Amino acid sequence: MKKWILVLFAANMLSITALADIYVEPSLGYNFGSYEAKLTAPLPAAPGGTSGLGLGLKAGYSIATFFGGLDVQYNMLSSDPDSASQPEDDLKETLIGISGGMDLVLIRAWLGYYFSGSGKSDDVEFKSGSGFKIGVGYSLLPMVSLNAEYFITNYDDVTEASGFVQEMDFKNLLVSVSVPLSF
C-alpha cells in the first residue's frame, strides 16, 4: 500500500512539472527610500535619503497560480544626506536573489531574498549585500501590472576613502510597472 502511495505521489509530481510554464517579468520603476551609514565608534550613524530609477527582471517557472525563480534588480540612485557635511552622491546597486509568490486574478503578491548585492558610487563601494523584499501588484491590463515592493538590504563590506563607514543599510520602496509573461 505504501509503495502505491509513493508511486501515485511521484506520478503527480511529474505531471505538475509538465504543467510548469517559463515565467519572465521585466520591470521599470522608481525608488524612494533611506539609507544609514554605520560609522566607526564613537561617530554617530549618518542617515540620508535615496531616490532613483529601478530596473528588474524575474525569470523562472510558474505552476497554476504560483511563480518563482531568479530575481535581479538594478537601481540607479541619488543620495541626499541628512547632514550638510556629507556630499550628495549618485550610486548604482545590483541585487541578485530569488523570489516566489502567487498570481491571483487581479492581485499578485511575492516575497524575495537577495543573497548577493553590490554597489558603487564616486566615494563608496559596497559589497557582500543581502536583504529581503515583499511586493504586491495589481493587474491593470492582462499583461501589465502596477507594483509596489519594499526592500531592506544590508552591506557588510564597505570601502570608503576615509575608512569611517563600516556598514550600509538601505530601505527602499519601489513603485514599478511590469509585464509578467508565462509561456
Express each pLDDT in 87-123 by its tens digit. Answer: 778 999 999 999 999 998 899 999 999 999 999 988 7
User: Tell me, what's the pLDDT at 67?
Assistant: 94
Q: Would residue 133 count as lying in a domain? A: yes
Q: Would residue 3 count as lying in a domain? A: no
Residue 14: pLDDT over 90: no
Q: pTM for the full model? A: 0.85
* Stronger pLDDT, 12 or 162, i.e. the higher one: 162
Q: Per the structure block, which three cell numbers stand in for 24?
A: 519572465
User: Tell me, what's the pLDDT at 166?
Assistant: 78
Give the dihedral sign, CA 67/116/95/172: positive
Q: Would residue 143 count as lying in a domain? A: yes
Q: Would residue 2 count as lying in a domain? A: no
* Stronger pLDDT, 33 or 105, i.e. the higher one: 33
User: Tell me, what's the pLDDT at 13?
Assistant: 53
CA 7 → CA 2, 3, 19, 142, distances in Å? Answer: 9, 6, 19, 38
Q: Would residue 5 count as lying in a domain? A: no
CATH assignment at residue 58: 2.40.160.20
For residue 162, what pLDDT band results from cuts at 50, 70 and 90? confident
- What is the rounded CA–CA span in Å between residue 12 and residue 16? 6
For 42-101, the pLDDT digits (tens) are 777 889 899 999 999 999 999 988 999 999 999 999 988 886 667 778 999 999 999 999
The number of distinct structural domains making up the chain is 1
Residue 33: pLDDT over 70: yes
Mean pLDDT of the chain: 87
* Stronger pLDDT, 115 or 141, i.e. the higher one: 115
Q: Would residue 12 count as lying in a domain? A: no
Q: Would residue 157 count as lying in a domain? A: yes
User: Tell me, what's the pLDDT at 85?
Assistant: 61
Which structural domain, as residue segments, surrounds residue 168? 21-182
Q: Would residue 81 count as lying in a domain? A: yes
User: Is the Cβ–Cβ distance between 109 and 65 less than 8 Å?
Assistant: no
Rounded (5°) CA angle 26-63-1? 160
Residue 9: pLDDT over 90: no
